[in-house]
Chains A and B, each alone.
Chain A
Amino acid sequence: MYKLVLCWRYLLTRYLALACVVSVMLGVATLIVVNAVMGGFANKLMTRIRGLQSDIIIEHRNYDGMENFARKVELVKQVLGDEVAAVSPVIETFALLRFKLQRYYDVIQRPVRVIGIDPTLKSEAGVFKSALQNPAHRDRPESVFEVSPELLRKHWQNYYNTPAPGGLAAAPMPQGMPIGVPGSSDGSAPPAPDLPPPDAPTPPPEEARVFAAVVGWGIATFRSPKAHLVDEEKDVSVLAPGDEITLMFVSSGVGSGDDYSVGVTRPMPAKFIVTDLFRCEMSEIDSNIIFIDIQDMQRLRGIPGRATSLQIRLTDGPHDTAALVERLRAHFPEGLYLVNTWMERQGMILSAIAIERAILNVLLFLIIAVAGFGILAIFSMIVIEKTRDIGILKSLGASSRGVMGIFLSYGLLLGLVGAGLGTALGVTITVYINELEWLIARTTGQEIFRRDIYYFDKIPTEIDALSIAAVNIGAVLIAVGSSVVPALRAALLQPVQALRSE
């Protein structure tokens, strides 16, 4: 009983010991905030990657893809049975993007990743339609590559200052070579921008073929670096639906038509009208990706019936994904195909996050360990200061174990109070982290959280009760552990010697 009375009294009267409380509190708060933020990032990243990646991906090692993907899709459905929800064939390739930057009268050229998809299947097998900016496309993803008459009108108005010829209103177009392919027959590099300057409108030839493309948000906009500090529109648009882009592909090495000799690749430029923007909030994807129709892609690259990968979405509920992958691997030979789960494909980034988190936790726990050494030092001093009182207590019948108990409970109390305050502080900071970040950014003029890197509107946080509990237990254990040595010392004091100390 007296132990509690005394350690409570000590807590209230020894201001030095409050330093221990503060250091434990800060350590715990830091750990909680860092864990919450890192957990939030990891989680958000995981769900996004997960959504974008499908469950299993069968990738052909050849850049030109697998032959007759329709049959492969059937095979996948056969192998996986009713566990498969959707299979989406995809052609992924690199291309050179070129577009006119209206506001600067200049042309931008840069490499991009172009993905040929079937918008309906892609939406079933992964995230696609929900990332589209036009709500009409979200409801009907199959219409995303249709150039509507008004879009076409707008396009002609903007680029050629003439109304659109009626024949172009319908899309997609059937057969025919893309126009705006200068030098495609002789293989020479395309010359300077083929887009007419706005002051000298030249209507394009009548047989112009216009393909549709969905452009990543990060390509279509740029972010003003000060956008965060001044409350104005953050993203400045450079490409909008109705604008025109040129994509230059490399044709396949597969002989697929009369014009292409076997094994020879050629640059294959084609014009596209932007029909929508794609924003999945993964800046790496949003700023590098352009979606086009898979059939357009096959035609442009000369690989009819081919796909570079099959994205497989499994039905909801638990699956033994590893076993499914093994089953698929039996049918898709390793030398030609890469069969992976999304986790394996993203293994690097996921394990990087996990390692980073583990290391940070170790480092931050060292902060609490430092607090522990503080407790050790301060407690040792208190034991010396209290030597006489220890003698008195023993003369009144207190046992050595009881005296030890005083200091252990004191350490426990400090740990509990510190951890409790730290948890309160940490959770408060976590909850208000965006407001705090804004405040700090405002006062210092330094942006802390670069929204253009992460494409998160807010700093994502995830308060995980289990990790908070672990941090608290760890902190209390460290506090009690560091008070063991001073407590032992107090317990071993001889009462007579203790009483003599004046």
Chain B
Amino acid sequence: MVAPLLAAHDLVKSYRKHRIAIPVLRGLDLTVEAGSFVAVIGASGSGKSTLLHLLGVLDRPDGGQVFLDGERIDDQPAQRRDHLRNHWFGFIFQFYHLLPELSLLHNVAMPLMIRHSLLGWVRGRRQHLRAAEALIERVGLAHRKHHRPRELSGGEMQRAAIARALVARPRILLADEPTGNLDAAAGAEVMRLLSDLNRQDGVTTIMVTHNLEIAARADRVVKMAEGRLESSPLAA
């Protein structure tokens, strides 16, 4: 058996509110094979987002480990985790989370800007911008690349966010309710995009949602309840 691309083992995480610890994850195990499309479903507050944050080393677990390609990543120093987020993971959020001051093109190119120093950026500027433009074209926003996020619709913003998540050529896409804020048509469009990426480009995708219909488009659906994965993978 091939080693899973991403694995979580016995993850524990709780939040403190008014000195009372609220447990969110209580020993969660998850393995994700390279190239798969996993949907995590669960009720609001079941810890789906927290799981994504821990998998993407945005946050540290209270207990347990996260392995990326066999390497433990949750206890890495901040610098290494920043590097991992930039090179390995792409995040997509429910509320798109584009930077309002920047044009769509710059928003999409942001991970590359973060990766390169001023000199490196200037040197490879044309190439980086071309990569961003290619992705913008792919998500169908070529005509809007100089617009500000507030001039776009929700679906357009989410497509831009997907382009941004992909521009750094990550191995893993972490999508947090990508359709949660979109109407049915826009949601379907985003889902089509995500499954295309998974199928054609082999981007491993972990998507969190509470919408069963959406989750049904994944290869594998896992259900979260009480801080654990409830059952063995459901059939797609």
Identify the A interface with B (CB < 8 A).
Answer: 1-2, 4-6, 9-10, 13, 388-389, 391-400, 402, 494-496, 499, 502
Q: B211 an interface residue at 8 Å Cβ cutoff?
A: no
| Shortest Cβ distance from residue B123 to the other chain A in the assembled complex, whole angstroms | 11
Which A residues are CB-close (under 8 A) to B91? 395-396
Q: How far is the CA of A389 from the CA of B100 in the complex (A)?
A: 9
**Are A499 and B97 CB-contacts (below 8 A) given A2-B114, A396-B85, A397-B85?**
yes
Say which one of B51-59, B68-76, B187-195, B200-208 lies at the interface with A.
B51-59
Q: Is the CB of A389 within 8 A of B121?
A: no
Considering only residues 59-105 of chain B, those with a C-beta below 8 Å from chain A are 59, 78-79, 82-87, 91, 93, 95, 97-102
A-B contact list, 7 entries, CB within 8 Å:
A1-B120, A2-B110, A388-B97, A392-B98, A393-B110, A397-B168, A496-B50
Q: Is the CB of A395 within 8 A of B82?
A: no
**Are A397 and B59 CB-contacts (below 8 A) given A1-B120, A13-B101, A502-B95?**
no
Q: How far is the CA of A499 from the CA of B92 in the complex (A)?
A: 12
Which B residues are CB-close (under 8 A) to A13? 101
Which A residues are CB-close (under 8 A) to B117? 1
Which A residues are CB-close (under 8 A) to B85? 394-397
Which B residues are CB-close (under 8 A) to A494? 59
Q: Is the CB of B78 within 8 A of A496?
A: no
**Are A397 and B115 CB-contacts (below 8 A) given A9-B101, A10-B101, A389-B99?**
yes
Which A residues are CB-close (under 8 A) to B121? 1
Q: B111 an interface residue at 8 Å Cβ cutoff?
A: yes
Which A residues are CB-close (under 8 A) to B114? 1-2, 393, 396-398, 402
B58 interface neighbour in A1, A10, A495, A502, Cβ under 8 Å: A495
Additional A-B contacts beyond A2-B113, A389-B100, A392-B98 (16; CB < 8 A)? A10-B101, A391-B97, A392-B97, A393-B114, A395-B85, A396-B85, A396-B91, A396-B110, A396-B164, A397-B83, A397-B115, A402-B114, A496-B50, A496-B58, A499-B93, A499-B97
The residue in chain A whose Cβ has the minimal distance to the Cβ of B54 is A496
Q: How far is the CA of A187 from the CA of B101 in the complex (A)?
A: 94
Identify the B interface with A (CB < 8 A).
Answer: 50, 53, 56, 58-59, 78-79, 82-87, 91, 93, 95, 97-102, 106, 110-111, 113-118, 120-121, 164, 168
| Shortest Cβ distance from residue A314 to the other chain B in the assembled complex, whole angstroms | 57
B86 interface neighbour in A10, A392, A396, Cβ under 8 Å: A396
| Shortest Cβ distance from residue B162 to the other chain A in the assembled complex, whole angstroms | 13
Q: How far is the CA of A13 from the CA of B117 in the complex (A)?
A: 24
Q: Is the CB of A394 within 8 A of B58?
A: yes
Q: How far is the CA of A502 from the CA of B85 in the complex (A)?
A: 22
Which B residues are CB-close (under 8 A) to A502? 95
Q: Is the CB of B82 within 8 A of A397?
A: yes
**Are A397 and B87 CB-contacts (below 8 A) given A4-B118, A392-B97, A502-B95?**
yes
Q: How far is the CA of A398 from the CA of B121 in the complex (A)?
A: 15
A9 interface neighbour in B78, B87, B102, B168, Cβ under 8 Å: B102
Q: Is the CB of A495 within 8 A of B116?
A: no
Q: How far is the CA of A495 from the CA of B84 in the complex (A)?
A: 15
| Shortest Cβ distance from residue A210 to the other chain B in the assembled complex, whole angstroms | 84
A1 interface neighbour in B50, B95, B113, Cβ under 8 Å: B113
Q: Is the CB of B78 within 8 A of A400?
A: yes
Which A residues are CB-close (under 8 A) to B101? 6, 9-10, 13
A399 interface neighbour in B53, B58, B79, Cβ under 8 Å: B79
